[in-house]
Amino acid sequence: MAKKAVKPNNETGKIKSLEQFTENGADEFLTTNQGLRINDNQNSLKAGERGATLLEDFILREKITHFDHERIPERIVHARGSAAHGHFELYESMSKYTKAGFLNDTKIKTPVFVRFSTVAGSRGSSDLARDVRGFSVKFYTQEGNYDLVGNNMPVFFIQDAMKFPDLIHAVKPEPHNEIPQAASAHDTFWDFISLMPESMHMIMWVMSDRAIPRSLRMMEGFGVHTFRFINEKGKSHFVKFHWKPVLGVHSVAWDEAQNISGKDPDFHRRDLWEAIESGAFPEWELGVQLVEEKDEFKFGFDLLDPTKLIPEELVPVKIIGKLTLNRNPDNFFAETEQVAFHPGHLVPGIDFSNDPLLQGRLFSYTDTQLSRLGSPNFHEIPINRPIVDVHNNQRDGHMRQAINKSKTSYEPNTLGGGCPFQAMMKNMGFTSFLERIDAKKIRNRSKSFMDHFSQATLFFNSQSNEEKAHIINALRFELGKVQVPEIRERMVGLLTQVDNGLANKVAEGLGIVAKAPVQPMNHSVPADETPKDYQPVKGKSSVDRSEALSMKNTIKNSIATRRIAFLAADGVDGASLESMKKTLEGKGATVKIIAPKLGFIKSATGNAIKVDESFLTATSVVYDAVFIPGGKESMDALTREADALHFINEAYKHCKAIAATPSGEALLKASYINMDAKDEGVVIEKNEKLDKAFTKAIAQHRFWEREAARKVPA
């Protein structure tokens, strides 16, 4: 049973005795590590409600410092990662908006190192956990390193960095038994979320198929926060960053993700590595949404709120360049594990906004690297070194590598000739944007941050029917794992504020009735102390639907890098096999021959065909489509092979393209597939017509409408 919250005794404000601090938490007050009582654990100290976070906030610094140093040596979050080298090329100069050199000169190829990661799991967890994915890019520019530290989702769970340790504590394995690993389907996560209505927009994203990508190469990336571009004249534009994958945005089915975790937990890592090794270099285009200073308040949401996005219908994404990954790391530990990202690694022409989550990250990342890499000299590790010379008066420290010969390590000086000099001439070095601040020190949140539901509704309304069904099933699964009924009820109550149909369907799956939450929903503040203005509200979104939010509208014109399984045995129709193999490989796909045993099989004409995998080691969940070349003897053998039938049934259940020659149809008839039902994803044709139709079907990625038809056991 969950412990019942007990309101502290505020009558005297005094500690009566040590006995009052009972096991059930009655009369416990939240304090700092020094015993100082905290009266606001929700907001960092800012220069005005929408102002920058102040370094003076010792409570925030103590909380995040303790959090950053909780574990060594792996990262607390984003522990499981994969990475690659590459370059960025600019399409057109952005000098009108920013003086950043690598965004001005189209002739420069800027080297990059990109790390992808899951958030919640340990280094040994599965790639296919339902989770946010990190998408961080280190640009080695001629003006120093610039880190764009983002995710594959454009928003986040919380609005203020003060809540980040709480969020991660809640989603990590529960502390009493260290279960479950890399999963959010447990009590502590949903207990926290059910008390944090600001998380509802992000919950829609995490419960969607975006949380289980088909490949790291097939997911978007976002800077999440609002940043600033500053041009040579000092003019500022707000900017949001987008990475658009050239291959489109694609996912796997949830049942498939669970199977992949058991069959190949390194699926995403292997996929990225093999694509680069084969020369199928992953590519993304960089896009920006630009907002003039004068338009800061024109939207129905606050640009500084990290739980909000700017719909592309309001501000189109301007594509400005391309990222290409073309080289795998030489050593996983030295590069992928030791790379140190930081949103505070800037170049002239890019600056921060006062987003309170971003402001907290600016402190946290340096502190994290100190704990994880053990020294302030982490910038001297080869993967972190800038490609330009470094000159400053920082000295010594653990694992120092630079050998400084000058006798001066201070500034100003005359003994060293005054070196190194400040870059004081106009536009030579970094200068912060000149922003007027005239406000009181305050520990509070802007009223403009209080709309927690309108964009969650926008996201849900923008999904296809199949995507909506996946969100409903994901919530049923996650909340079905929650053991405390009150938590499930609170969550369904919050879902009523997003969409009543969504809430009712989730509630039905949980065996409860959806009821609107009783005010106040801001559970982090006692009801009798919460000003009405600071209760969550549902605003009106400027757009009802946004095409960019649905994966159904993504690119579906390529089968490059898709993995296709050919099921065959002795007596296979060799001509059909070779024709289809040539067609698919000619369009960049990878073909693997799956047979009852390894070695070689013989075609109907006696030709030897090398087998890539046997049914004992092969699994449909790591393939994108299935082809059955036919041949009577081969079909007779495969029809008797239970694993071959399971392979087809499972691929069909996961909505994949399946093709067969007319003679291969016998194997499909032996499976659970209803051959009388019209299914565009099941292709049976002859010769070139079959090749063309199957290629088109693979490019569609999945036929999700199949889920609404008869359920297929697998």
665 within 8 A of 676, measured Cβ to Cβ: no
Annotated catalytic residue within 104, 151, 152, 473: 151
78 is catalytic: yes
Q: State how far the alpha carbon of 232 is from the alpha carbons of 95, 96, 139, 421, in Å.
A: 8, 8, 21, 21
663 within 8 A of 527, measured Cβ to Cβ: no
Between CA 55 and CA 4 the distance in angstroms is: 36
Annotated catalytic residue within 43, 78, 342, 473: 78
Between CA 410 and CA 422 the distance in angstroms is: 12
In degrees to the nearest 10, what's the CA dihedral of 574, 577, 580, 581? -110
In sequence order, the β-bridge partners of residue 149 are: 136
Q: What's the chain's Rg over C-alpha atoms?
A: 28
Report helix angle 632-639 to 642-653, nearest 10. 90
CA angle 590, 591, 597 (to 5 degrees): 140
- Pick the closest to residue 483 from 209, 163, 180, 168 (CA basis): 180
151 is catalytic: yes
- Pick the closest to residue 30 from 160, 165, 120 (CA basis): 165
Peptide bond into 180 cis (omega under 30): yes
Q: State how far the alpha carbon of 353 is from the alpha carbons of 229, 356, 430, in Å.
A: 10, 9, 16
In degrees to the nearest 10, what's the CA dihedral of 632, 637, 640, 644? -100
461 within 8 A of 544, measured Cβ to Cβ: yes
- Pick the closest to residue 428 from 95, 101, 90 (CA basis): 101
Q: Catalytic residues, which ones?
A: 78, 151
